[in-house]
Amino acid sequence: MKSFFDAEFAEHLAVAQASNQQLREPFQKVVAACVSAIKEGHKIFFFGNGGSAADAQHLATELTIRYKKDREPIAAIALTTDTSALTAAGNDLGFDNIFARQLAALGRRGDVAIGITTSGRSPNVIKAFEVARRLGIVTVAFTGGTGGNILPHSDHVLLVPSAVTARIQEMHITLGQMLCGALEIELGLVSG
């Protein structure tokens, strides 16, 4: 158990260090895109499957409620929370359309869609990005490994340099929380 524990931490730290070195500039571009959208009265959508769905809900809540301090809300919606919409879309339109349909209904030109997919191959995230592109919504992929099929559909990519799902997910929530903190600062809602 000690060797397992130590190996997991060593792998986590290695991926964190590689992410720090490789993702600074892409992260700054994502922050800028989100700041621009919010300043212009637009909103940020988050979505993904499984653990990424939980991250989507977590991050949308950090923005609409608060991250570090009480402040004005930031417009964010997780497309993973409405069980009626998810099950109706899944049943009537197919699981690949559960996010695309909601985005088509709620999204407007200038919004930001953040799709979280560890593999970059989630058909429902890719389909939502296709809708986003048609509507003029900025697309941001949180992914890992090779980036999968999501890359050509993405305006911005935070690609975690790992092929291990757990490590990718750990970096996604870290980067997502950093995004929340950066938005609070860049929007002048809290001091840096």
Q: What is the CATH number of the domain that holds 33?
A: 3.40.50.10490
DSSP for 82-115, please give it. Answer: -HHHHHHHHHHT-GGGHHHHHHHHH--TT-EEEE
Domain assignment present for residue 91? The answer is yes
The C-alpha atoms of residue 43 and residue 52 are separated, in whole angstroms, by 19
Residues 126-160: tens digit of each pLDDT: 999 999 999 999 999 999 999 999 999 999 999 99
For residue 163, being part of any structural domain is answered with yes
Per-residue pLDDT of the chain (192 residues; tens, 9 = 90+): 999 999 999 999 999 999 999 999 999 999 999 999 999 999 999 999 999 999 999 999 999 999 988 999 999 999 999 999 999 999 999 999 999 999 999 999 999 999 999 999 999 999 999 999 999 999 999 999 999 999 999 999 999 999 999 999 999 999 999 999 999 999 999 876
Distant-in-sequence, close-in-space partners of 113: CB < 8 Å, separation ≥ 6 = 44, 45, 47, 103, 107, 128, 129, 132, 137, 138, 139, 140
Domain range for residue 157?
Answer: 2-186
Q: Is residue 132 part of a domain?
A: yes
For position 172, what pLDDT does the model report? Answer: 98
Looking at the domain assignment, is residue 191 inside a domain?
A: no
Domain count of the chain?
Answer: 1
Does 124 reside within a domain?
Answer: yes
